[in-house]
Amino acid sequence: MVKKRIVTGDRPTGKLHIGHYFGSLKNRVKLQESGDYEQYILVADVQALTDNFNNPEKVRKNVREVVMDYLACGIDPKKTTIYIQSMIPETAELTVFYSNLVTIARLERNPTVKTEIAQKRELFGESVTYGFLGYPVSQAADITVMDGTLIPVGEDQLPLIEQCREIVRKFNSIYGEVLQEPQAVLSNEKRIKGLDGNEKMGKSLGNAIYLSDSAEEVNKKVMSAVTDPNRIKKDDPGNPDVCMVSYYHKLFSTEEECKKICEECRLGQRGCVACKKQLAQNINNILQPMREKRKYYEERPELIDEILKEGTEKARQTAKETMKKVKKAMMLDYFE
């Protein structure tokens, strides 16, 4: 039986945080272990350069950081292909072919692109680069060059997958049924809020706990988490519904713990400091095995290089097979 192929990935702009873990990494491990799928994970360094074009050192350094986070979380390179986006020239070639099938007006209407451009005004001002605007086209190439059929995404990414499907349909209508239309698989996990209550978690906001954080760093960050602003004294009744510590307990603590914590908070029987200390301990209990795995690879950088080289070689072979079919359909196979 031919397994359905999953294509997913991350931009190497920094170490991964717990939002990534709950949002995608746990699911990737689950899909990997099911044995029902062939999973490809790309380290999207080319995409990272769209808004880090003047800082290539940052992108290059974070390629290995991201891979170590993958391995620490349980991604197994023997079961999942991990590869570097820029090392697959066929993707760039297919992006050029696809660029003739998409209008600028259609790209500008893409809801995800519109949102991201609005968020990047500080960086770009009114001058949006071609690479940033054309990202949906290169993403379509990333997916289809690997013959991806299932694409796990969050709800905000659905417009990108729909644009990929449009490109595939247009290509097939002109050149014949060569490519498969990928199907989006919507994640059940919601985006994790930052420690400060912000809907977005990130390094620039200083509100994220990273998978590689030490126990001391976790303790310090948790102690800074936003709690009920109306609770002044330890014995004041609190409202866990507006407390980020309570929010994180639902992620890292048992259902029984959460119930007890909320009850004691509402009755003024548990202070915020005690609540934060328990949360920090629970987070550290989950992160400690990941830290140990990460340390193993940090001390053996040659293993990371080997994993990336083998994964990229496998991905390159898949890409070559796809492009052979594409070029034949486009009558570009001159010397075949």
Does one domain contain both 169 and 220?
A: no
pLDDT (average), residues 304-331 = 97
The 10 Å CB-count burial string (b at 16+, else e) for 244-258 is bbbbbbebbbeeeeb
- With a cut of 70, say whether residue 121 has pLDDT above it: no
Does one domain contain both 36 and 103?
A: yes
* Confidence band, pLDDT 50/70/90 cuts, at residue 120: low
Residue 35 belongs to a domain? yes
Q: For residues 287, 288, 293 and 298, what is the CA-based torsion angle, rounded to 10 degrees?
A: 90
CATH number, domain containing residue 256: 1.10.240.10
Q: State both tokens at 96.
A: 């050029």
- With a cut of 90, say whether residue 174 has pLDDT above it: yes
Residue 73 belongs to a domain? yes
Exposed, middle or buried by CB within 10 Å (0-12, 13-18, 19+), for 101? Answer: middle
Does one domain contain both 63 and 164?
A: yes
pLDDT (average), residues 212-239 = 90
- In 3D space, the residue among 56, 46, 54, 58 whose CA is nearest the CA of residue 134 turns out to be 46
Does one domain contain both 165 and 35?
A: yes
Q: What is the mean pLDDT of the chain?
A: 90
Q: State both tokens at 180.
A: 């498969």
Range among 112-126, 171-185, 189-203, 266-280 rated most confident? 171-185
- With a cut of 90, say whether residue 222 has pLDDT above it: yes
Structure confidence at residue 219 (pLDDT)? 95
Does one domain contain both 24 and 130?
A: yes
Residue 335 belongs to a domain? no
Does one domain contain both 65 and 94?
A: yes
* Confidence band, pLDDT 50/70/90 cuts, at residue 322: very high
Residue 10 belongs to a domain? yes
Residue 336 belongs to a domain? no
Does one domain contain both 162 and 274?
A: no
Query: E-strand spans in 129-238?
Result: 150-153, 183-186
Residue 206 belongs to a domain? no
- With a cut of 90, say whether residue 235 has pLDDT above it: no
- With a cut of 90, say whether residue 179 has pLDDT above it: yes
CATH number, domain containing residue 317: 3.40.50.620
Query: E-strand spans in the chain?
Result: 4-10, 37-43, 80-84, 150-153, 183-186
Residue 29 belongs to a domain? yes
Task: Indicate the number of domains in the chain.
Answer: 2
Residue 203 belongs to a domain? no
Does one domain contain both 290 and 314?
A: no
* Confidence band, pLDDT 50/70/90 cuts, at residue 101: very high
Does one domain contain both 254 and 110?
A: no
Structure confidence at residue 229 (pLDDT)? 87
- With a cut of 70, say whether residue 94 has pLDDT above it: yes
Containing structural domain, residue 266: 213-295
The pTM of this model reads 0.90
Structure confidence at residue 199 (pLDDT)? 83
Does one domain contain both 270 and 166?
A: no
* Confidence band, pLDDT 50/70/90 cuts, at residue 300: very high
Does one domain contain both 290 and 317?
A: no
Does one domain contain both 25 and 44?
A: yes
